[in-house]
């Protein structure tokens, strides 16, 4: 057995470690331990490969010596986690004139010629990076060698150690390349991630019938579907093939007997059964679904490699749940095995089959799912849109690492260039976002911020499109969508997460549709209903505008009287959908001018609708303008200066409470006051809301209770949480505004410089995406502690966009919060993360 600091021969007892030799080497050793027929294999450690990249070649003569003269070798990469990738496998190292002659005698000249040519091509193109066109089919070994010699100005090397040195060097250096580094870092690899290499003796498959009459070839097989994770033998076998050729060659056969064509099982039933047995044993003992690469040499089965079966997000969940259901792994481990963000891949909406599709253009379907949003042309614009809560689609010529934060902020990515492995596609899949890449017809004008395709209208920034990443289509406008299928293994996994998690997960839901979606994800209630979103409907908008333009209290009351039944109906629907679960309704938050038009046409239309002179409308809009609206007349400030709005909302909430409680489970509404900074604000609103509650009680003859709470969104509210909590049953930290105000950083403008800030390490991450535990978190700790000291039964929650992020869930659990609230689609991620932290 060969063991030097540089090489370790893989045997059942060798000291092979994943963090030193990589995942593939470790897996091969496990197979050896299970007494699987693994060929002779040697592992090179991360340190050895690093030294090779630095120009220090180990003693290859010793390495080659152990395989014996004339052996053909494969070299495979072995990184710590297979997700981090690695350079592609090189086969048939050791092929030279003498080996080709020997092979021709045993396997026939065709096999020998094909293998030799293939190796020269791979050595030239993959190792020495020569032009692939020079080595295209059909070509003979002689011509291939000539092409090599012409390019390299030296003879094709005949010595295995020389060939191996070049192969190892090129693989070691490829790992250090910028693209490889970026790709693996996007998968979570640390900057110093190492690469191991595995050198294995090849079981060359000779022509059938020529070598003792046995069957020879190579194949790849897996036992579950990569799309669904359900049991299904898929794979291919190529007679006389090598490596993974079977997956790409048309002449490949099925594994199991199949009416569609010839199959390995027809001629080698015992070997196929042996593969089934090997799979079963691997599943039990490696506790994983494995894909097996195998060869048959004269009928003898060798298992060359086994890797985690490639899988979609859906299959990942299916496989983990099946392993737990079969008792192979405990439920806890099934939960821990799934990175929370993987669930995004299951949650996608799709464009409804049969929906009207106005296809603007097509590209490569690079990441599945569909999304509708406003066109944005830069990462900064995407971040700004996201901060405003507007879904957007990032349209770029191609993307680069500087765009990452914008991609995080977008609902989908569309690129003019690139394919399924482009930066945009790889990152989008990682993030679970739909992506259409390589939409080559797109004509982008970055200066004018427009996009079009020949013969179609010009689209501007802000125009709505739908991206269907599953079909590779760009659709004009919003398309009708279907929600993802969330039953089966996904539902089971969520049930298990519910069993283990120890923090509540609620949803931010503004409309009955959102609430229905939240219910499908099994939330513990609604943690934030932003009531102003209920006014965006055009009918209501008109009444709202009438209210804003009211000349006197009487006119304003008349408009509010018309809004009241609409709000009441909204709340009845929400209460009924949530079936007695808590619903937190936030009173009106934004400044009033957000409801008024900005441009000339809009002003004219409004003047017409309200039967007012244009000048009067323009004046009113002007009067409502603020220099800094985010810090202006919004939230509770509006509630105190124009109290009729909050009064109307409180009345609508209480009347809905009475109606819904009569029909079903008693409702205890939670009313939340936004943007509080002083105790007196809470006292004033509380007095008014209490008065309305008494009025509704006596008018309806029904009793009910309610809980009044405060949103902690200003640093002062966090600092004064003690006195505020005296009037509040709950405090919910609105981390969007709290982040904005703690940093003094505009939610709407930060996108412009966020990339530069993060790139230069000023902020470790965009604090609007990932909660700033150090600063904002410290304020939250302070607020939570002061609040609970004043009122031990105080409910604490987090309801900003951060709520669904695993880091925030972790923070909130540790800080003793009762729940986090996030958008419905982030609920599964939050639930799974919560369970993982609790395990
Ligand atoms: C917040 O500020 O965190 C919040 C939830 O409110 P909004 O995003 O509506 O300002
Ligand atoms: Mg807010």
3-state secondary structure of 468: strand
CA distance 730 to 724: 10
Ligand 2 centroid–CA 734 distance in Å is 5
CA distance 815 to 817: 6
Judged by its nearest atom, the ligand closest to the C-alpha of residue 733 is 1
Ligand 2 centroid–CA 628 distance in Å is 15
Task: Assess if residue 498 is contained within a domain.
Answer: no
Q: Which residues contact 321 (CB under 8 A, 6 or more apart)?
A: 334, 489, 492, 493
Do both 230 and 289 map to the same domain? yes
Do both 304 and 396 map to the same domain? no
Nearest CA to 266 among 239, 306, 289? 239
Q: What are phi and psi of 580, to 5 degrees?
A: 85, -5
822 is catalytic: no
Do both 23 and 139 map to the same domain? yes
Q: How many CB atoms lie within 10 A of CB 157?
A: 16
- Position in ligand 1 atom list of the atom nearest CA 675: 2
Task: Assess if residue 523 is contained within a domain.
Answer: no
Distances (CA, A) of 650 to 526, 563, 576, 638, 690: 17, 12, 18, 15, 9
Do both 17 and 117 map to the same domain? yes
Tell me which DSSP letter residue 450 carries: E
Q: Ligand 1: does its nearest atom lie under 6 Å from the Cβ of 713?
A: yes
pLDDT (0 to 100) of residue 691: 98
Task: Assess if residue 824 is contained within a domain.
Answer: no
Q: pTM for this one?
A: 0.80
pLDDT (0 to 100) of residue 652: 97
Ligand 2 centroid–CA 735 distance in Å is 7
State the binding site for substrate. 530, 586, 713, 734-737
Q: Ligand 1: does its nearest atom lie under 6 Å from the Cβ of 734?
A: yes
Do both 196 and 239 map to the same domain? no
Do both 295 and 357 map to the same domain? no
pLDDT (0 to 100) of residue 210: 41
Looking up tokens 């963000």 gives 341
CA distance 365 to 349: 15
Looking up tokens 């737990």 gives 324
Distances (CA, A) of 272 to 150, 307, 770, 789: 46, 18, 50, 68
Alpha helices in 664-720 (DSSP H): 679-700, 715-719
- Position in ligand 1 atom list of the atom nearest CA 528: 5
Q: Which helix H or strand E contains 822, and what residues bound it?
A: strand 819-822
CB 430 within 8 Å of CB 85? no
Ligand 2 centroid–CA 198 distance in Å is 54
392 is catalytic: no
Over the chain (839 residues), what is each successive 10-residue block's mean pLDDT?
77 93 95 95 96 94 89 95 90 94 85 90 94 84 94 95 97 91 86 95 58 74 90 91 80 90 93 97 96 91 93 89 98 96 79 84 86 94 88 91 81 87 72 86 92 93 93 92 81 97 94 86 94 76 87 89 94 94 95 82 86 89 88 94 95 97 92 98 98 97 97 98 98 95 86 80 88 97 98 96 92 98 88 97
Q: Which of 799, 802, 805, 822 is catalytic?
A: 799
Ligand 1 centroid–CA 530 distance in Å is 9
pLDDT (0 to 100) of residue 212: 43
CA distance 382 to 405: 9
pLDDT (0 to 100) of residue 187: 82
pLDDT (0 to 100) of residue 341: 84
pLDDT (0 to 100) of residue 208: 42
Nearest CA to 361 among 460, 445, 471? 471
Nearest CA to 345 among 811, 832, 838, 837? 832
Q: Ligand 1: does its nearest atom lie under 6 Å from the Cβ of 735?
A: yes
Which of 308, 340, 367 is the last residue before a domain boundary?
308
Nearest CA to 63 among 130, 154, 155, 160? 160
Q: Which of 408, 423, 727, 802 is catalytic?
A: 423
Q: Ligand 1: does its nearest atom lie under 6 Å from the Cβ of 530?
A: yes
Nearest CA to 493 among 708, 325, 299, 292? 325
Helix H, strand E, coil C: the string for 524-586 is CCEEEEEHHHHHCCHHHHHHHHHHHCCCCHHHHHHHHHHHHHHHHHHHHHHHHHHCCCCEEEE
Q: What is the CATH number of the domain that holds 725?
A: 3.20.20.60
Using most ligand atoms within 8 A of CB, pick from 734, 750, 803 the residue to mutate for ligand 1: 734
Using most ligand atoms within 8 A of CB, pick from 717, 737, 743 the residue to mutate for ligand 1: 737
Task: Assess if residue 566 is contained within a domain.
Answer: yes
Which of 170, 201, 232 is the last residue before a domain boundary?
201
State the binding site for Mg(2+). 713, 737
**Strand order across the 217-224 sheet:** 231-239, 217-224, 290-297, 300-308
Tell me which DSSP letter residue 3 carries: B
Q: Extract the tokens encoding 525.
A: 């209630």
Task: Assess if residue 645 is contained within a domain.
Answer: yes
Do both 178 and 252 map to the same domain? no
pLDDT (0 to 100) of residue 630: 87
CA distance 100 to 106: 10
Do both 254 and 114 map to the same domain? no
Judged by its nearest atom, the ligand closest to the C-alpha of residue 389 is 1
pLDDT (0 to 100) of residue 597: 81
Task: Assess if residue 813 is contained within a domain.
Answer: no
Q: Extract the tokens encoding 463.
A: 């125009």
Q: What is the CATH number of the domain that holds 412?
A: 3.50.30.10
Q: Extract the tokens encoding 517.
A: 């979606």
Look at ligand 1, atom 9, and give the residue with the nearest C-alpha.
530
ipTM: 0.99
Judged by its nearest atom, the ligand closest to the C-alpha of residue 636 is 2
Q: Extract the tokens encoding 282.
A: 């691997």
Q: Ligand 1: does its nearest atom lie under 6 Å from the Cβ of 737?
A: yes
Which of 482, 502, 521 is the last residue before a domain boundary?
482
Using most ligand atoms within 8 A of CB, pick from 527, 532, 533, 674 the residue to mutate for ligand 1: 674
Nearest CA to 661 among 585, 571, 586? 571
Look at ligand 1, atom 10, and give the residue with the nearest C-alpha.
737
Domains held by the chain: number: 4
Task: Assess if residue 189 is contained within a domain.
Answer: yes
Do both 372 and 424 map to the same domain? yes
Do both 114 and 56 map to the same domain? yes
Ligand 1 centroid–CA 580 distance in Å is 25
Task: Assess if residue 806 is contained within a domain.
Answer: no
**What residue numbers bound the domain in which 245 lies?**
217-308
Do both 579 and 664 map to the same domain? yes
pLDDT (0 to 100) of residue 421: 61
CB 252 within 8 Å of CB 258? no
Q: What is the CATH number of the domain that holds 90?
A: 3.30.1490.20
pLDDT (0 to 100) of residue 209: 40
pLDDT (0 to 100) of residue 580: 92
Q: Is 629 left (phi over 0), alpha (psi -120 to 50) or beta?
A: alpha
pLDDT (0 to 100) of residue 211: 43
CB 571 within 8 Å of CB 585? yes
Ligand 1 centroid–CA 736 distance in Å is 5
pLDDT (0 to 100) of residue 119: 94
Do both 302 and 258 map to the same domain? yes
367: number of CA atoms within 13 Å, CB side? 29
Q: Which residues contact 433 (CB under 8 A, 6 or more apart)?
A: 344, 367, 369, 371, 407, 410, 411, 412, 413, 469
Look at ligand 1, atom 4, and give the residue with the nearest C-alpha.
734
**Which residues, in sequence order, are bridge partners of residue 258?**
261
């Amino acid at each position: 057995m060969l063991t030097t600091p540089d090489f370790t021969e893989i045997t059942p007892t060798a000291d092979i470690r994943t963090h030193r030799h990589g995942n593939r080497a470790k897996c091969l050793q496990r197979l050896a331990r299970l007494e699987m027929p693994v060929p002779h294999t040697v592992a090179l450690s991360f340190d050895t490969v690093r030294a090779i990249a630095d120009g220090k070649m180990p003693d290859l003569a010793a390495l080659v010596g152990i395989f014996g003269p004339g052996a053909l070798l494969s070299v495979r990469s072995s990184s710590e986690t297979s997700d981090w990738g690695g350079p592609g496998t090189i086969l048939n190292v050791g092929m030279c004139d003498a080996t080709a002659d020997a092979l021709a005698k045993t396997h026939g000249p065709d096999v020998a010629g094909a293998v030799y040519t293939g190796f020269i091509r791979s050595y030239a193109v993959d190792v020495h990076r020569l032009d692939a066109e020079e080595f295209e089919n059909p070509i003979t070994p002689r011509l291939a060698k000539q092409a090599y010699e012409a390019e390299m100005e030296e003879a094709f090397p005949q010595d295995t150690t020389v060939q191996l040195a070049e192969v190892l060097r090129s693989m070691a250096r490829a790992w250090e390349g910028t693209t490889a580094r970026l790709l693996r870092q996007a998968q979570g690899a640390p900057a110093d991630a190492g690469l191991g290499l595995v050198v294995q003796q090849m079981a060359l498959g000779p022509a059938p019938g020529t070598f003792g009459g046995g069957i020879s070839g190579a194949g790849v097989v897996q036992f579950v579907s990569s799309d669904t994770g359900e049991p299904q033998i898929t794979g291919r076998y190529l007679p006389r093939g090598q490596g993974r050729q079977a997956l790409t060659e048309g002449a490949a056969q099925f594994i199991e007997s199949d009416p569609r064509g010839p199959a390995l099982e027809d001629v080698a039933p015992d070997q196929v059964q042996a593969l089934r047995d090997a799979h079963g044993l691997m599943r039990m003992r490696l506790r994983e679904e494995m894909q097996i690469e195998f060869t048959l040499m004269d009928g003898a089965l060798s298992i060359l490699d086994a890797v985690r079966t490639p899988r979609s997000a859906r299959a990942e969940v299916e496989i983990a749940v099946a392993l737990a259901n079969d008792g192979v792994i405990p439920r806890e481990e099934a939960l821990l095995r799934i990175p929370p963000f993987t669930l995004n891949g299951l949650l996608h909406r799709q464009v409804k089959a049969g929906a009207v599709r106005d296809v603007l253009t097509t590209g490569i379907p690079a990441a599945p799912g569909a999304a509708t949003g406003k066109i944005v042309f830069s990462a900064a614009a995407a971040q700004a849109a996201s901060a405003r809560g507007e879904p957007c689609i990032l349209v770029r010529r191609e993307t680069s690492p500087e765009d990452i934060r914008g991609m995080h902020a977008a609902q989908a990515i569309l690129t003019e260039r690139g394919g399924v492995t482009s930066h945009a596609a790889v990152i989008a899949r990682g993030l679970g976002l739909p992506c259409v890449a390589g939409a080559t017809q797109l004509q982008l004008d970055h200066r004018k911020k427009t996009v079009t395709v020949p013969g179609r209208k010009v689209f501007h920034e802000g125009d709505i499109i739908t991206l269907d990443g599953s079909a590779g289509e760009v659709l004009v406008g919003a398309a009708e969508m279907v929600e993802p299928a969330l039953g089966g293994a996904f539902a089971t996994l969520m049930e298990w997460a519910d069993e283990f998690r120890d923090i509540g997960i609620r949803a931010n839901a503004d409309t009955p549709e959102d609430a229905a979606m939240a219910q499908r994800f099994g939330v513990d209630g609604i943690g934030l209903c932003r009531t102003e979103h209920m006014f965006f409907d055009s009918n209501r908008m008109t009444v709202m505008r009438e209210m804003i333009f009211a000349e006197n209290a009487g006119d304003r009351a008349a408009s509010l009287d018309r809004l009241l039944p609409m709000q009441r109906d909204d709340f009845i629907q929400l209460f009924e959908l949530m079936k007695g679960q808590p619903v937190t309704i936030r009173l009106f938050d934004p400044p009033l001018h957000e409801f008024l038009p900005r441009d000339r046409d809009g002003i004219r239309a409004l003047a017409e609708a309200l039967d007012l002179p244009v000048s009067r409308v323009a004046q009113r809009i002007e009067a409502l303008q603020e220099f800094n609206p985010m810090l202006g007349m919004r939230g509770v400030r509006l509630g105190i200066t124009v109290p009729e709005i909050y009064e109307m909302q409180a009345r609508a909430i209480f009347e809905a409470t009475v109606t819904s409680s009569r029909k079903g489970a008693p409702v205890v509404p939670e009313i939340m006051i936004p943007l509080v900074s002083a105790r007196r604000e809470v006292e004033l609103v509380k007095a008014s809301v209490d008065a309305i509650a008494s009025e509704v009680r006596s008018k309806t003859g029904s009793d009910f209770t309610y809980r009044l709470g405060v949103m902690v969104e200003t640093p002062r509210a966090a600092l004064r949480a003690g006195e505020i909590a005296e009037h509040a049953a709950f405090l919910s930290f609105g981390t969007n505004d709290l982040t904005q105000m703690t940093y003094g950083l505009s939610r709407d403008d930060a996108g412009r410089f966020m990339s530069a800030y993060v790139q230069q390490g000023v902020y470790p991450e965009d604090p609007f995406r990932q909660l700033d535990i150090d600063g904002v978190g410290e304020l939250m700790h302070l607020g939570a502690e002061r609040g609970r000291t004043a009122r031990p039964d105080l409910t604490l929650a987090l309801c900003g966009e951060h709520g669904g992020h695993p880091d925030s869930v972790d923070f909130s659990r540790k800080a003793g919060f009762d729940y986090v609230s996030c958008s419905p689609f982030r609920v599964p991620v939050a639930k799974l993360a919560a369970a993982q932290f609790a395990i």
